[in-house]
């Protein structure tokens, strides 16, 4: 790490709502530390998104912010949403800002790694032997399926009653590109992909199977491909999660299964994610990094939220957008050592123990980074 890297890289920081700003603050302290110590520098700009953007501009995502995101090398995202905005028309909900970003940036591949840090094997609601050493990757399709499918909406029928409509729709191309991402990841891991769907009731699930098999047979003969129904997968994740290496699935199933996988690691506050777009001619991908958890309005502003999922999302940015493997390892190892030294926010602490603050967890990670450089 001799010279400062990344100085020409544009990173847009969108802290968002709820606990978003306070967890992002801890990430930015690491960014500033990297800058000060000439480990890595980024051209950082910060903007509003979600409810915060609505309060300031009347929309959860302004055109200017979208433009910034599209012209950045990476976006660091906190969280959006909260009861304050639930009375707004659907199109103005804070979540619409995030969904629009995903769609406009074409972030079709959402990587959600569920890794159990050894120090946390007892923090899981499952027995230690079920989760110790767990390392699985959920690859969730993020720009298609029922989240975006048409027709959608609520219509009033002739008898005056209403009907709500959403549509699960996937093209072969959409399935193929995310299946490829899963196979590529599996090649660098333990070589196994499990495709998850409801092919027993949904035709689109049958197409997922066919296309995944074709991708594997034509280009990834060394990858072992299996199939599982989504309901069974939910059950297997809590019964025997270590059977999985890479799971690839649709937008909705990926949303649900990744919350489940997150709890295996001890807390929803531990799971980072990377959302990646297609590679351009130079191999670069648009990318957004965000914790899997939501904005947790009940604890927002109290300095008790766990910043680790956000910090680990930053590490994913270093790894996937900027190829800074050493620096990503530095951050992840610092998190591992801070946990080993006993740092626990409320979500990770034993039921009778008081957790430390968001800031104190940030301090603990920074201290470990400092020791290692």
d(CA 142, CA 106): 9
Percentages (nearest 5) of helix, strand, coil residues in the chain: 45, 20, 35
Contact pattern from residue 288 through residue 327 relative to ligand IPM, giving x for each residue in contact according to CB under 6 A and a dash for the rest? ----x-x---------------------------------
Tell me, yes or no, if 198 is annotated catalytic: yes
Least Å distance, CB 293 to Mg ion, is: 8
Q: Which is nearer to ligand IPM, 95 or 104 (CB)?
A: 95
Among candidate residues 33, 35, 51, the one with its CA nearest the CA of residue 43: 35
Q: Which is nearer to Mg ion, 51 or 254 (CB)?
A: 254
Q: Is 255 in the site for ligand IPM (CB under 6 A)?
A: yes
Considering the candidates 147, 220, 289, 320, report the single residue annotated as catalytic: 147
Span from 5-13, 94-102, 233-241, 342-350 in contact with ligand IPM (CB under 6 A):
94-102
- Let me know: does 289 contact 271? Beta carbons within 8 Å: no
Q: Which is nearer to ligand IPM, 6 or 277 (CB)?
A: 277
Considering the candidates 255, 286, 289, 320, report the single residue annotated as catalytic: 255
Length of the chain: 373
- Burial of 154: CB neighbours in 10 Å, binned 0-12, 13-18, 19+: exposed
Tell me, yes or no, if 286 is annotated catalytic: no
Least Å distance, CB 297 to ligand IPM, is: 12
Q: Is 98 in the site for ligand IPM (CB under 6 A)?
A: yes
- Identify each DSSP E strand in the chain by its residue range: 10-16, 43-46, 74-79, 109-115, 135-141, 153-156, 162-165, 192-197, 224-229, 246-249, 274-279, 285-289
Least Å distance, CB 295 to ligand IPM, is: 8
d(CA 289, CA 72): 12
Interface residue with Mg ion, options 255, 290, 327, 347 (CB under 5 A) = 255
d(CA 209, CA 226): 9
| Sites for Mg ion among residues 9-68 (CB under 5 A) | none
Interface residue list for ligand IPM (CB under 6 A): 81, 95, 98-99, 255, 292, 294
């Amino acid at each position: 790490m001799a010279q400062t890297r990344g100085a020409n890289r544009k990173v847009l920081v969108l802290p968002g709502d709820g606990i978003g700003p306070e967890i992002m603050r801890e990430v930015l302290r690491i960014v500033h530390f990297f800058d000060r110590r000439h480990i890595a520098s980024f051209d950082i700009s910060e903007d509003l998104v979600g409810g915060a953007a609505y309060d300031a501009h009347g929309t959860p995502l302004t055109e200017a912010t979208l433009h910034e995101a599209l012209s950045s090398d990476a976006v660091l995202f906190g969280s959006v949403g909260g009861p304050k905005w639930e009375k707004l028309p659907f199109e103005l909900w804070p979540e619409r800002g995030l969904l629009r970003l995903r769609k406009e940036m074409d972030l079709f591949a959402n990587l959600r790694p569920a890794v159990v840090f050894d120090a946390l094997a007892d923090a899981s609601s499952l027995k230690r032997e079920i989760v110790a050493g767990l390392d699985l990757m959920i690859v969730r399709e993020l720009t298609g399926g029922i989240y975006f499918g048409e027709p959608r909406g609520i219509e009033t029928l002739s008898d005056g009653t209403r009907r709500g409509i959403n549509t699960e729709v996937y093209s072969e191309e959409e399935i193929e590109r995310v299946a490829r991402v899963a196979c590529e990841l599996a090649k660098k891991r333990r070589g196994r992909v499990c495709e998850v769907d409801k092919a027993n009731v949904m035709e689109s699930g049958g197409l997922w199977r066919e296309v995944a098999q074709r991708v594997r047979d034509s280009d990834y003969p060394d990858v072992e491909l299996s199939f599982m129904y989504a309901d069974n997968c939910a059950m297997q994740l809590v019964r025997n999660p270590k059977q999985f290496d890479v799971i690839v699935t649709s937008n909705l199933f990926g949303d649900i299964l990744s919350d489940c996988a997150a709890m295996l690691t001890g807390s929803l506050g531990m799971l980072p994610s990377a959302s990646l777009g297609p590679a351009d001619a130079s191999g670069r991908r648009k990318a957004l990094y965000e914790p899997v958890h939501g904005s947790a309005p009940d604890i927002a502003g109290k300095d008790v939220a766990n910043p680790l999922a956000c910090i680990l999302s930053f590490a994913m940015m270093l790894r996937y957008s900027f190829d800074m493997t050493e620096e990503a390892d530095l951050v992840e190892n610092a998190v591992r050592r801070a946990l080993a030294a006993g740092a626990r926010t409320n979500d990770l602490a034993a039921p009778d123990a008081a957790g430390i603050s968001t800031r104190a967890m940030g301090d603990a990670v920074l201290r470990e980074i400092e020791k290692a450089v």
